[in-house]
A = this chain, B = another copy of it.
């Protein structure tokens, strides 16, 4: 994976740049000691790393604005960073860049239950947004697996989803407005608690723009009343294709579970060895389907789902009858990534496909993995066709890393070919930058890069991400 050469001119002016930043920030707002910079040399795509020129840790929108004014004047790249939990390298620094970490912007600014929103600073963690409104019976719906740690800023940058986004939508469906600092330090407000936007809907293009259009410092988020209850069922089949067909039928019938999670045989065995959740070891594929609502609603939805599941002749169908049984059903799914990490290094892919293409895609993916001689475990949000194949390899073997990357690229190309998309919720970052040409032709890429030209004419915000380096070369100069 190639990154652009650092700008020698910027490296030469390092001390002057650090001095300007130091003058604008409190003493603890700037990190420039080379040893401390190592803590910011990568995000959760740890196979790539590079310490930045400096790290800034602002406490207010005004400080963010001051940092961007300086970097804009100096022509220094800025890498916005939430909590660093991103899986696509969206917060990977370059040696000539200043990291702008928003973790200290973590206050709750306003809660409004009558209009059902909460306004928070963008560094607040996802789970603590719910924490702030839970005592009053509300919650914030998007729930990435990293929700204990990940920041709302990163959720907005990547348009993050989660297991429950089948019913409640992803970040863009739950984001009402932002305060954003533009590349030159100007502060703008976009959207807000009331419906719609006059003129163009810029909020939509900002959500998912991977920190390339501005630095979001505050967000107005839709909150929802907590449902009365929830109940999962576990359904296992002797073929992944049958499980895929069951998912298609549920979606087609118009029942709307909050989650339909899919696990294939390799991941069932890995997690069972790790947490002993009591999953059926004879199954080729397993679905966890959860519904929410009042007791009557739960009953009615589960009856419909069980009826559909039965038509496909499951090898196991287990409905939770208690809180403890619900926990057990979820235990393996929640431990899936950890269980995989115990036995191998892995790359977590993130492609989407139309739900109806699930059976064929799974079959072809198995064939691809066999061709490369690599193991792939599948655990994913099946309801909305968001796949997360885990490609296992040995990170100490450079040849295996290369093969794993090549298999990952083949899998994502397969998703695009099936009418899907390179990324569901992790973003493009550096990981899928060069694959964008398989999704978009040059006219499409030009239109997207033109939008960046408007927001960030100098291309200082997270410049070497999202677009193929060859395509973006020379922009912003």
Cβ proximity bits A383-415 to B, threshold 8 Å, 1 near / 0 not: 011100000000000000000000000000001
What is the bound-complex CA distance between A423 and B197, given in angstroms?
7
What is the bound-complex CA distance between A469 and B102, given in angstroms?
39
B200 and A209 contact, CB distance less than 8 A: yes
Q: How far is the CB of A242 from chain B (nearest CB, A)?
A: 15
What is the bound-complex CA distance between A50 and B190, given in angstroms?
35
Q: Which residues of B contact A443 (CB under 8 A)?
A: 182, 186, 188
A235 at interface by CB-CB < 8 Å: no
What is the bound-complex CA distance between A207 and B205, given in angstroms?
11
Given A188-B441, A195-B386, A225-B253, list of 9 further CB < 8 A pairs? A112-B354, A114-B355, A172-B201, A194-B354, A196-B423, A198-B428, A201-B205, A225-B254, A297-B300
Pick from A14-22, A61-69, A144-152, A445-453 the stretch touching chain B: A445-453
Q: Which residues of A contact B (CB under 8 A)?
A: 112-116, 159, 170, 172-173, 182, 186, 188-190, 192-205, 207-209, 224-225, 248, 251-254, 294, 296-297, 300, 352-356, 384-386, 415, 418-425, 428, 432, 436, 439-441, 443-445, 447-448, 450-455, 466-467
B421 and A194 contact, CB distance less than 8 A: yes
Q: How far is the CB of A261 from chain B (nearest CB, A)?
A: 15
B113 and A252 contact, CB distance less than 8 A: yes
A356 and B115 contact, CB distance less than 8 A: yes
Most buried by B among A193, A352, A384, A432: A193
Q: How far is the CB of A156 from chain B (nearest CB, A)?
A: 12
Using CB atoms, name the residue of chain B closest to A223.
Answer: B254
- 7 interchain pairs (CB within 8 A)? A115-B355, A188-B447, A198-B428, A199-B428, A200-B205, A204-B205, A294-B300
What is the bound-complex CA distance between A159 and B354, given in angstroms?
25
What is the bound-complex CA distance between A353 and B115, given in angstroms?
10
B424 and A352 contact, CB distance less than 8 A: no
Q: How far is the CB of A255 from chain B (nearest CB, A)?
A: 9
B199 and A420 contact, CB distance less than 8 A: no
B252 and A114 contact, CB distance less than 8 A: yes
What is the bound-complex CA distance between A164 and B452, given in angstroms?
36
Using CB atoms, name the residue of chain B closest to A213.
Answer: B200
What is the bound-complex CA distance between A37 and B50, given in angstroms?
64
**Which of B196, B354, B454 is A447 in contact with, Cβ under 8 Å?**
B454
Q: Which residues of B contact A451 (CB under 8 A)?
A: 200, 202, 205, 451, 454
**Which of B186, B192, B252, B421 is A197 in contact with, Cβ under 8 Å?**
B421
Using CB atoms, name the residue of chain B closest to A173.
Answer: B173
Using CB atoms, name the residue of chain B closest to A205.
Answer: B205
What is the bound-complex CA distance between A297 and B303, given in angstroms?
14
B448 and A199 contact, CB distance less than 8 A: yes
A424 and B195 contact, CB distance less than 8 A: yes
Q: Which 10 A-B pairs have the closest CB atoms?
A: A204-B204, A225-B254, A450-B454, A114-B356, A194-B420, A198-B422, A195-B352, A115-B354, A205-B205, A194-B352
**Which of B356, B384, B415, B450 is A112 in contact with, Cβ under 8 Å?**
B356
What is the bound-complex CA distance between A205 and B172, given in angstroms?
13
Q: Which residues of B contact A193 (CB under 8 A)?
A: 354, 419
Q: Which residues of B contact A224 (CB under 8 A)?
A: 254
What is the bound-complex CA distance between A367 and B452, given in angstroms?
46
B248 and A114 contact, CB distance less than 8 A: yes
Q: How far is the CB of A220 from chain B (nearest CB, A)?
A: 10
Q: How far is the CB of A275 from chain B (nearest CB, A)?
A: 29
What is the bound-complex CA distance between A114 and B248, given in angstroms?
6
B199 and A116 contact, CB distance less than 8 A: no
What is the bound-complex CA distance between A170 and B439, given in angstroms?
27
Q: How far is the CB of A171 from chain B (nearest CB, A)?
A: 10
B466 and A195 contact, CB distance less than 8 A: no
Q: Which residues of B contact A207 (CB under 8 A)?
A: 201, 204
Q: Which residues of B contact A447 (CB under 8 A)?
A: 182, 188, 202, 454-455
Q: Which residues of B contact A173 (CB under 8 A)?
A: 173
Using CB atoms, name the residue of chain B closest to A187.
Answer: B443
B436 and A199 contact, CB distance less than 8 A: yes
Q: Which residues of B contact A354 (CB under 8 A)?
A: 112, 114-115, 193-194
Q: Which residues of B contact A356 (CB under 8 A)?
A: 112, 114-115
What is the bound-complex CA distance between A385 and B443, given in angstroms?
39
B205 and A202 contact, CB distance less than 8 A: yes
What is the bound-complex CA distance between A437 and B300, given in angstroms?
51
B454 and A196 contact, CB distance less than 8 A: no
